[in-house]
Amino acid sequence: MNASTFLPYLMKLPVYREQIVHVERIPPRDATYGELDEPLHPSLHASLKSSGLLPLYRHQAAAVNAVRAGRNVMVVTPAASGKTLCYNIPVINTILTQKGSRALYLYPTKALAQDQLRGLGELTAPRQVRVNHATFDGDTPYGERSEIKRSAEIVLSNPDMVHLGILPNHRSWKGLLSRLRYVVIDEAHVYCGVFGSHVANVLRRLKRLCAYYGASPQFICCSATIANPAEHAERLTGLPFEVIAEDGSPHGGKEFVFWNPPLIDEAKSARRSANSEATLLLTELIRQGIRSLAFARSRRLTELIYLYVQQQLSEKNPELAERVKPYRAGYLAEDRRKIERELFEGDLLAAVATTALELGVDIGDLDATVLTGYPGSIASTWQQAGRSGRGGESSLSFLIGVDNPLDQYLMRHPEFFFGKSHENALTDPDNPRILKPHLLCAAWEMPLSEAEAELFGDGFSRAEDELRRAGLLRRHRGRWYPSPSVVYPAQDVNIRSTSSHNYHLVEADSGRLLETVEEANAFFQLHPGAVYLHQGEPYLVTELNLTARTAFAMPADVPYYTQTKDITEVSIVRPGQRKTVGGVAVHLGEVEVTTTVLGYKKKRIFTEEVIGEEPLDLPPHTFPTVALWFDIPAQVEVRLEKAGLDFAGGLHAAEHASIALLPLFALCDRNDIGGVSTPLHPDTGQAQIFIYDAYPGGIGIAEKGFELVTELWQATLKAVSECPCQEGCPGCIQSPKCGNNNEPLDKKAAIVILEELLGNEQ
């Protein structure tokens, strides 16, 4: 059975209950080609021709022409469109024609760099294409590093290694930095939020040292489709860009299915678990021999779905149970490489993965993808769906709607997804919590001067002053030097987080390190009593040592998983912008968020039934961030009182739904934002709804919400009012993250509040 005949088969199964709510049939498309302005080096041309890579697609030719004309280029085309050639061709051609030229390729993961190394090796395999290339990352043997520094013409690495290994040791990298012609940033859409803000500062440090050694490299970026490609590339690098967005590659047809789990309680509009639906779909795909990849939103859900599929297959198809594996970050590198190889070679029929496999690692041609819940952005959805059909054949993709407002909005309005332009990628290099440690790193690499304010942006002077007052920088002869107490500051900066600290999960009996968890997530995942899944095996956390940042766990065969309960408070530190929208005051400013984890629930696997609750005694976690908040029209409370509706419950419900819908307008995940609502906030003396960035210092999400607040209110009202439930459900106003157990909530009051915010203009 192939992907095109799978849907009719699925609809005849006894378990089918009208879950298919929309099928978007994307027709196949032929290739369109372009011409190069100037011929390539003969050996490179011969290699491309022998590999079947000529003629070039339209976007490939346009990108090569723009790069060879000296422009910085951002290529924004879908998955499997051949973006790699957009940078490999001009880089290799320059190395062949201009002796001594160097290039630095940056990838967000080591796996992707290793995969691209193989592709580069195939392109340069013919004897006449002599290009010395190598990966340089944490896995590179120390015995090979000196030779890479000395002779590699193309170095494939990641921003972490540039930050930690190359820039602080720039004198030993003088050969690369002084002759660096190109910097390639692949999968540039990944560099948003906190990670992107860090990377933007790493790239500024890189440009600074290149200039010191007499080089001014060109930048070539490749990205999934986003709404602001030029702005994003410019914020990452501080340079102007030309965008190449017209895709000329061929594509096989795809059936993109929106699959909504069936209702199990009509009155409450409660739906069957999306995890159960993913298990059903992936199990049937495997049984029919369709090579598939299922995506889950978290490490825990990846392991759960894998276990469910294993159990289903073991009952009737035990020979197939070994042909599916989980894949996620946290596994050892050799384990991930083994799974990638087994997928590529066809030994595995399927895998369940986190976004770790969303990027372009070559795992062969797949026929189907299953997305367990909306990934949080249109860009990520197409990236995940694009992992099937990469060979040009027809393919199948399923998006399973989770029981939350955002997913259910899309299930009811698929035209919003298929007709909407992609979201904005947001970065904030000026975030002081991110900029300050990078300025300290830059000063350690080479003393800073006031002239570099333009390079590091508007926050330079303030950050420099705060570092001086903290005793970390000292001034000498007009330049800033790190204080004697500062030693190798790069090692204290985790560029994938605003925190430099991780917690370790250790097996209690053996002392074996199982995984590391970011500090921000530790209290939610590693609290005493937590069930933590590691490679499909449940571990029960028995102790959390806050001083040593270490959790101890034991293997445990328990029939439940755990979910924390918490309470959050927001205080206004510094009001910033203010605007009036239809008579409603909307604010943007600096706030302080305090979250306390109070306890946790035990939820039965498969049924999600709550089988117990336990209290926790953990210290509060406080951080500064940016929030938007809006006043509630004075007539709302009067109108609700007359209707006998709950004001506090309406505020709480509107807050939940607004937070859930904000990812429609910003390239973010639901977990990147938080919120608080109250009938009487102590800082304003009135009713308030806050929506804040869930990262210290903020990353621009609240600002985007402030900018598009009318559109946010409109989408939220639509999501809540169109939901068929009577009193409110997970599909409209309930939140699985709510620290108050979703109490109080009042759906009808929320509709009134949102109508008043919009002035009854729908």
Structure tokens at 705: 């919400």
Residue 519 lies in a domain: yes
Q: Which of 274-278, 298-302, 353-357 has the highest mean pLDDT?
A: 274-278
Q: Are residues 578 and 704 in the same domain?
A: yes
Which pLDDT score is estimated for 361? 64
Give the whole-angstrom CA distance, residue 73 versus residue 50.
27
Identify the domain boundary among 492, 515, 544: 492
Residue 563 lies in a domain: no
Q: Are residues 455 and 385 in the same domain?
A: no
List Cβ neighbours of 12 (8 Å cut-off, separation of 6 or more).
none
| Residue 156 bridge partners (DSSP) | 105, 135
Q: Are residues 294 and 362 in the same domain?
A: yes
Residue 610 lies in a domain: no
Q: Are residues 409 and 346 in the same domain?
A: yes
* Residue from 377, 60, 101, 70 nearest 248 by CA: 60
Q: Are residues 363 and 454 in the same domain?
A: no
Centroid of chain to Cα 96:
37
110-123 and 333-344 helices, crossing angle to 10°: 50
CA atoms within 13 A on the CB side of 397: 22
Core vs surface per residue 54-92: b (16+ CB within 10 A) or e? bebbbbbbbbbbbbbeebbbbbbbebbbbbbbbbbbbbb
* Residue from 50, 169, 151 nearest 100 by CA: 151
Q: Are residues 169 and 73 in the same domain?
A: yes
Does the pLDDT at position 267 exceed 70? no
DSSP 8-state symbol, 224: S
| pLDDT tens-digit readout, 615-629 | 999 999 898 999 999
Q: Are residues 85 and 231 in the same domain?
A: yes
Residue 748: domain span: 569-591+622-757
Q: Are residues 646 and 737 in the same domain?
A: yes
Q: Are residues 78 and 58 in the same domain?
A: yes
Q: Are residues 88 and 183 in the same domain?
A: yes
The contacts found for 496-504 with CB under 8 angstroms, 24 or more apart, are 496/160, 496/194, 496/195, 496/198, 497/194, 498/194, 498/433, 498/434, 498/623, 498/695, 498/696, 498/697, 499/696, 500/437, 501/549, 502/549, 503/549, 503/550, 503/551, 504/549, 504/550, 504/551
Contact between 680 and 601 (Cβ < 8 Å): no
How large is the C-alpha radius of gyration of the chain?
26
**φ and ψ at residue 261, rounded to 5 degrees:** -55, 145
Which pLDDT score is estimated for 762? 44
Does the pLDDT at position 268 exceed 80? no
Residue 37 lies in a domain: no
Question: Helices in 501-646 by DSSP H: which ranges?
Answer: 519-525, 635-643
Does the pLDDT at position 84 exceed 90? yes
Which pLDDT score is estimated for 356? 67
Which one has a higher pLDDT value, 119 or 373?
373
Q: Which of 189-193, 373-377, 471-475, 721-725 has the highest mean pLDDT?
A: 471-475
Does the pLDDT at position 130 exceed 70? yes
Question: How many domains does the chain contain in total?
Answer: 5
Which pLDDT score is estimated for 443? 97
Residue 427 lies in a domain: no
| pLDDT tens-digit readout, 278-321 | 999 999 999 999 999 999 988 778 988 999 999 999 988 999 99
Tell me the pTM: 0.80
Q: Are residues 168 and 272 in the same domain?
A: no
The CATH number linked to 476 is 1.10.10
Which pLDDT score is estimated for 556? 92
Instruction: Please work out, in degrees rounded to the nearest 5, the angle formed at the alpha carbon of residue 107 by the alpha carbons of 104 and 112.
Output: 120
Q: Are residues 442 and 352 in the same domain?
A: no
Q: Which of 137-146, 199-208, 385-394 has the highest mean pLDDT?
A: 199-208
Predicted confidence band at 131 (pLDDT cuts at 50, 70, 90)? Answer: very high
The CATH number linked to 290 is 3.40.50.300
Residue 615 lies in a domain: no
Residue 47 lies in a domain: yes
Identify the domain boundary among 367, 386, 419: 419
DSSP-based three-state secondary structure for 561: strand
DSSP E strand stretches across 235-291: 242-244, 254-259, 263-265, 270-271
| pLDDT tens-digit readout, 231-241 | 999 999 999 99
Give the whole-angstrom CA distance, residue 281 versus residue 287.
10
Contact between 154 and 91 (Cβ < 8 Å): yes
Does the pLDDT at position 761 exceed 50? no
Residue 609 lies in a domain: no
| pLDDT tens-digit readout, 444-454 | 999 999 888 89
Identify the domain boundary among 209, 244, 279: 244
